[in-house]
Amino acid sequence: SNELTQPPSVSVSPGQTARITCSSDALAKQYSYWYQQKPGQAPVLVIYRDNERFSGIPERFSGSSSGTTVTLTIDGVQAEDEADYYCQSADSSGTYVIFGGGTKLTVL
Amino acid sequence: QVQLQESGPGLVQPSETLSLTCTVSGVSIMTYSWTWIRQPPGKGLEWIGYISYSGNTEYNPSLKSRVTISGDTSQNQLSLKLTSVTAADTAVYYCARERGLLTGPLNPWGQGTLVTVSS
């Protein structure tokens, strides 16, 4: 499948670890990217090439990949991390861009 | 510092053509590829298409018959045209720089512009 599947929501308490998954057969062949979007703002690149942290992104954000699933991990979640998170990749042929449905991270 | 700014009508009549411009500053559009994305209110992101640094384009198959993306190097602008719009095309439209191999990471993004399709 070329669709990217994310859980609709994840909830964690401050200081805990949040893990957001993204699954697709396409991820076995294509890189993944993660974006953070806060209300009323444009998305911001957080992770590229599965596990590279983008410039200016706090070290508590990390990415990993295993087969057809990639994971965004936020260690020591802070209130400011509450946002929607989207994964992005390409279809198996590498021609089209695809986005996951997004995950709303709630900090309790 | 690279900056992108979307502009265009905020209201479009059903069956008409949606036309948006993305003005790029800080870099020539000829040196990168550029992507259009949209987000219906309260929903997720949808890729519309991209134009490469050489002018090649690729579109979302679900929109391909209605979409045209082009670039104006003299103005350093990108344009998006979407024909025969319906209420389902109501969304915030973003342009973004692509930093990989056409389907790679997008950074930065413009602030987005809301387009409402309604009579």
Closest-CA residue in chain A for B64? A96
Best mutation target among B2, B45, B48, B114 (most A Cβ atoms within 10 Å) is B45
B46 — contact with chain A (CB < 8 Å)? yes
Rg (alpha carbons) of chain B, rounded to whole number: 13
Nearest CA in chain A to B92: A42
Whole-number Å distance between alpha carbons of B14 and B85:
5
Question: pLDDT digit string (tens) for B38-47?
Answer: 999 999 999 9
Q: What is the pLDDT of residue A95?
A: 92
* Residues A65, B6: Cα–Cα separation, whole Å: 34
Q: Distance from B96 to chain A by nearest Cα, in Å?
A: 10
The mean pLDDT values, 10 residues at a time, for chain A of 108 residues are: 91 98 95 97 97 97 97 98 97 93 97
In a mutagenesis test of the A interface, which of B6, B103, B114 is the best target, namely the one with the most A β-carbons within 10 Å? B103
Partner residue facing B58 (CB), from A35, A88, A96: A96
Q: Are B39 and B94 in contact (CB under 8 A)?
A: yes
Q: B67-117: per-residue pLDDT in tens?
A: 999 999 999 999 999 999 999 999 999 999 998 888 889 999 999 999 999
Reduced to 3 states, what is the DSSP secondary structure of residue A27?
helix
Residues 6 or more apart whose CB falls under 8 angstroms from that of B100 comprise: A31, A48
For chain B, the average pLDDT equals 96
| Nearest C-alpha in B relative to A39 | B42
